Amino acid sequence: MGSRMRGEATWSHSSLNDSRFHAAHHYATIRYDVGLLERVTIMRKFVLLCTCIILSGDVLCAADTGNLELPYSEIAADEAVVFFRTTAWLDDNANEWHIPIHGWIYEPEDSRSRKALFAAVLDSEFNLAPSKATEANFARRLNLLIGDNERDKHIVVSIADEQHTLSASGVDGHFESTLVIPAAKVEEFVENSRIPYSAVTRSAESREFTGEVNLVSPTGLSVISDIDDTVKISEVTNKKSLLNHTFLLDFAAAPGMSSLYSDWAEQGVEIHFVSSSPWQLYAPLQEFLDAADFPESALNLKLVRFRDETLLDLFKKGTETKPVVIEEILQTYPNRQFVLVGDSGEQDPEVYSALLRKHPEQILKIYIRNVTNESADNDRFKSVFATIDPGCWELFADPQTLQLPELLVEASVD
């Protein structure tokens, strides 16, 4: 990246490594202060972990694009692009599809010093350490979190036999544009209700960067689903277990959820995933969902940049972050009906019940996976679902017992 230095510079010649030294020195000081460690809260431990990631710096290189109709994408040889699966919506009046393209451009990192520091904190604070079996997971996931975001880069995509230059990437490396394409033209390129696209690159570029958009009809049935402890085992309520599942262990599917969602998808149901995981972990999450045979669905993750106040969003409750994302889906498809699926581990019952009260015509059912061994008639659920028809929500342990009501199945087919 031009003047940006490569490799591991010496401590005395690099301000970045000076920062690493001071962070490591600070960590070593508190590590051996047993009295202080006894007073450290779970939040402080998480912040300590995040300081290891903050040591990475985003690349802030301005791009002189001139004419925005570029012939190819601005992707350097040491940069990578990830396209996130999205859902398009149809404007019936204009007979046009509105197709969101969302992605991330970044420079992959592989810093041994940051990795060692992060591992030391995991070991000291949570008694967790990468093993031979989990080292690859740890390295990949941490490296994604410390990847350098690339700012002011324009990506050119080819879709439906057209080329479009997308809006420039922001400080977080994300770029988003919504393309409007006539429905008749889109139909020529649709396969299984999806339309593919790819980044236009230089002729010398051997890599391919591709994506897909799900075309979601204006009417029908959608399922909005949580990920952690709903379809993927995460043990969110236990911070040590959560870190173990997030950074070390292979992602594991919650029993029976894949076959349930696949069965619903075969009945015409669209699945939308909403999670508090950061966008940086999109690729391993998507690979997990594919390997577990979940339907090809859009993911809505949390936007976190490890060098500004958005870092604090990692610690926000679901009651603060999920409603906004779900509301946007409901507003995008005002004539569709929805089933919400979550778990009892955190705030899904609270979030979903509030949304159902606000949108009773759109939200028809709530399913809560019981990961806390609670009873449906305990004080929590009595309070959360007070005034809500008992037939509109269900606490479940075995997903195979869940059946979409006939009304909902008919809605998904219409």
pLDDT at 114: 85
Q: Torsion angle of alpha carbons 250, 255, 257, 259, nearest 10°?
A: 100
Q: Is 73 inside a domain boundary?
A: no
Structural domain harbouring 380: 220-413
Is residue 293 situated within a structural domain? yes
Question: Residue 15's pLDDT is what?
Answer: 39
The torsion angles phi and psi of 353, rounded to 5 degrees, stand at -65, -40
The per-residue pLDDT for range 374-398, each reduced to its tens digit, is 999 999 999 999 999 999 999 999 9
Residue 249, in any domain of the structure? yes
pLDDT > 50? residue 11: no
* Cα(347)–Cα(238) distance, integer angstroms: 15
Report pTM. 0.84
Q: pLDDT tens digits for 27-51?
A: 444 343 444 444 445 555 655 666 5
Whole-number pLDDT of residue 375: 97
For strands 162-165 and 363-369, give the pairing. Answer: unpaired
Q: Residue 1: is its pLDDT beyond 50?
A: no
Look at residue 289 and tell me if it is in a domain. yes
Q: What percent of the chain has pLDDT over 70?
A: 78
Q: Is pLDDT at 9 greater than 60 in this prediction?
A: no
Among 182, 215, 177, which Cα is nearest to 196's? 215
Name the domain count of the chain.
1
Please tell me the predicted confidence (pLDDT) of residue 405.
62
399 within a domain of the structure (yes/no): yes
- CATH number (domain holding residue 349): 3.40.50.1000
Residue 48 belongs to some domain of the structure: no
> Of the ranges 3-12, 131-140, 191-200, 247-256, which one carries the lowest mean pLDDT score?
3-12
Region 319-333: mean pLDDT is 94
| Other residues' Cβ atoms within 10 Å of the Cβ of residue 295 | 19
pLDDT of 404 = 83
Average pLDDT of the residues of the chain: 85
Question: What pLDDT digit, counting tens, does each position of 221-263 carry?
Answer: 999 999 999 999 999 999 999 999 999 999 999 999 999 999 9
Q: What percent of the chain has pLDDT over 90?
A: 72
Position 349 in a domain: yes
Q: Say whether pLDDT at 163 is over 50.
A: yes
* Amino acid at residue number 312: L
Residue 302, domain member (yes or no): yes
